[in-house]
Chain A
Amino acid sequence: LMLCYFSSCSSWLPQRVPLQGSHWQSSLLQLRTSLPVRAQPKKKKKVDVRKEQAQKDRMKKKLKKLEKAPPELIPIEDFIAPLKYSESNRVRSLPALSPEESERRVLLLKKWCLFKQKQDEAEKKAIKALVESQQEALKELRLECEELYEAAIRRDEGLFPFERDGPSYTPPLPGYDPPEGKCVDITKVYTQ
């Protein structure tokens, strides 16, 4: 009885829509379109959102921790004496000076002090003279024209930035052909 029922069912299949493959596929053309599956994708979304939230929180925590630490200055190598100069026990033994030599040195020191004093005084005098002449000129300008005086008092925007190379012992050689080469920067990069 059951067998004949099943056979009748199979013959009753509608010939209009021949089913290909699995019984979930309803259209002939696209393979991907199928009846909406309810269970799986929603679970994926929830887990993703939670994971993303957790990641964001972790990152925020890390950022807070890093931001809490104050920024540090780069250590300056000039002020750190290399170890090899402090470890060794070598002491320099200076020869004894004769009285004439020490006398000569003291007199030389005195001459140098005097020379430096004269230099310093000359500089102070020069500065004073400059300031005085400037003030006098400004006074005269004020008497002449008030507008120009105001314009002169204002600060000069074109003054800064000011750059100047130090003087050199000798002028540059004419027609000097420098060898080819390059400069490589090997400064140590400090990171916090």
Chain B
Amino acid sequence: DALLGCHRSYRSRPTHGIGKFKYLLPKEAPKTRKGKVQMKEIDTGTEYQYGDVNIQMTSYDLCLVEHFAQYVHRLCNRLSIRVNESYAMPTKTNEVLFMEERGSKMQLDAVLTTHQRVVQIRSLSSTFAPILLEVIQSSQPEGVHLLMKQHTEADFKSRLKSRPELEELLAEMS
């Protein structure tokens, strides 16, 4: 046990550095602390493949849109389409007011919440894209609005909090 425990390396001897192997392994990417929000590189895709595509599902009904998002995710897994991310966009709340028949006052009708789920896929082949579209359309439930578009930086920025102080300072500086 004592023989195994000692790792004295004589720098002049040829056995110096024996047992080291980490320098042979490929360099790992720096570990992000606590999942720092950093934008992943957006893939534009080649001529025969679409890059990052966002499948956005919007609806007033939360359970329906969540289940549909799960279904789309599982479908992509089954068809071996790489899914980058599957996230939710912030909820939007709308107050619907309507004018009474007799009178000029606006009356509160309802408070509606709009939910949106996004499934981001990568390297979708150009021949398979219409088939996937067809399958998703055929299983689209009522009241769920489907939108498929390329992923852009603006889409990523819309998920982040706005920083008015930083923007003000930047405007003042320039």
**Which of A's residues lie within 8 Å of B, judged by CB?**
59-60, 62-63, 66-67, 70-79, 123, 126-127, 130-131, 134, 138, 153-156, 159-169, 179-192
Contacts and interface: CB of A to CB of B under 8 A. Distances in A.
Contacts of B90: 74-77, 187
B172 interface: yes
**Size class of the B contact interface (CB-based, 8 Å):** 35 or more
Q: Give the secondary structure class of B's interface.
A: mixed
Contact of B94 (A131, A154, A184): A184
A166 B113 CA distance: 17
A79 B117 CA distance: 12
Contacts of B134: 130
B153 interface: no
27 contacts: A60-B173, A66-B169, A67-B166, A70-B36, A71-B160, A72-B160, A74-B90, A74-B159, A77-B90, A79-B88, A123-B135, A130-B134, A155-B50, A160-B150, A162-B147, A162-B148, A162-B149, A166-B144, A179-B101, A181-B98, A181-B99, A181-B106, A182-B106, A183-B96, A185-B94, A186-B111, A187-B91
Interface of B: 36-38, 45, 47-50, 53, 59, 62, 79, 88-99, 101, 106, 109, 111, 113, 115, 126-131, 133-135, 137, 139-150, 159-166, 169-170, 172-173
Contacts of A77: 90-91, 113
